[in-house]
Amino acid sequence: MGSRKDQDSYYRRAKQEGFAARSVYKLQEMDQRYGLLRQGMRVLDIGCHPGSWLQYAAGRVGPGGLVLGVDIQELAVDLPRWGRFIQADVLKLTPAEVLAVAPAFDVVLSDVAPRTTGVRHADEAASLAMLEAVFDLALAVLRPGGSFLAKVYFGPGVDQLIHQVKGRFKLGKGHKPAASKAASKEIYILGRELKNALPQVDTQTEG
Ligand SMILES: C[S@@+](CC[C@H](N)C(=O)[O-])C[C@H]1O[C@@H](n2cnc3c(N)ncnc32)[C@H](O)[C@@H]1O
């Protein structure tokens, strides 16, 4: 799993199936395993260039849904009419810019990855900063009951973030898909069923 040979075959398969990148098979596996995407859903995809996750998500949600991609780089694929794209830095993107496209999202995906420097702790810190920004954005744009899936390079602070995800979602966990390179430190953080943003006030009084 995740060997060089497997990676080459994922690459060839993506080309044959018309996907812009082999990373589509990581999303496909997690979607099949956790049932993330359905017809009619609104999906935000952060760090979407070249566009394979957007292509896949657009197919899953269909014409009754919406996919919105965000990346600092231009998109490399054509989107169907229910696809939108914002060219932006996720560290500066505001919830208002996202909510101008749709009032709330069912799923927030992020495959965003900083440009790696080779200095491990610097790359891990940059990845964690992006994950934190994506998590904050997700909490602001997801509907209650919505889902969150985001990549991070595993390092200091990630366990704490998983803990925070567990606090805000009914289920929170880390997952390493088979299509992820074995040598890569990346993992995906999953949050299922966002709890209501506001604490429930008990209006019942005894007696
Ligand atoms: C691994 S690629 C995503 C691949 C994509 N999921 C696909 O399947 O085609 C990571 C992306 O994160 C983007 N990225 C890096 N830093 C970013 C930032 N600060 N804001 C937005 N996008 C960023 C990069 O431009 C790159 O396209």
Residue ranges covered by each domain of the chain: 4-194
% residues pLDDT > 70 (the chain): 92
Residue 151 is a catalytic residue: yes
Q: Is the CB of 52 within 6 Å of ligand 1?
A: yes
Please report which confidence band the pLDDT of residue 3 belongs to, taking 50, 70 and 90 as the band edges.
low
Whether the per-residue pLDDT at 206 is higher than 60: the answer is: no
What is d(CA 121, CA 41) in angstroms, rounded to the nearest whole number?
Answer: 37
Predicted-complex ipTM score: 0.99
> pLDDT tens for residues 122-147?
999 999 999 999 999 999 999 999 99
- Do β-strands 169-175 and 186-194 pair in parallel, antiparallel, or remain unpaired? antiparallel
Q: Is the CB of 106 within 6 Å of ligand 1?
A: no
What is d(CA 77, CA 46) in angstroms, rounded to the nearest whole number?
Answer: 15
Annotated binding site: which residue ranges?
A: 51, 53, 71, 89, 111
Domain 4-194: homologous superfamily in CATH = Vaccinia Virus protein VP39 (3.40.50.150)
Catalytic residue among 151, 170, 173, 195: 151
* Residue where the block lists tokens 């088979």: 178
Give which of 150, 145, 187 is closest to 170, Cα–Cα: 145
What is d(CA 196, CA 173) in angstroms, rounded to the nearest whole number?
Answer: 19
- Do β-strands 142-153 and 186-194 pair in parallel, antiparallel, or remain unpaired? antiparallel
DSSP conformation class of 48: -
Atom of ligand 1 nearest to the CA of 90: 20
* Mean pLDDT of all residues belonging to the chain: 92
CA 99 remoteness from chain centre: 17
pLDDT at site 196: 84
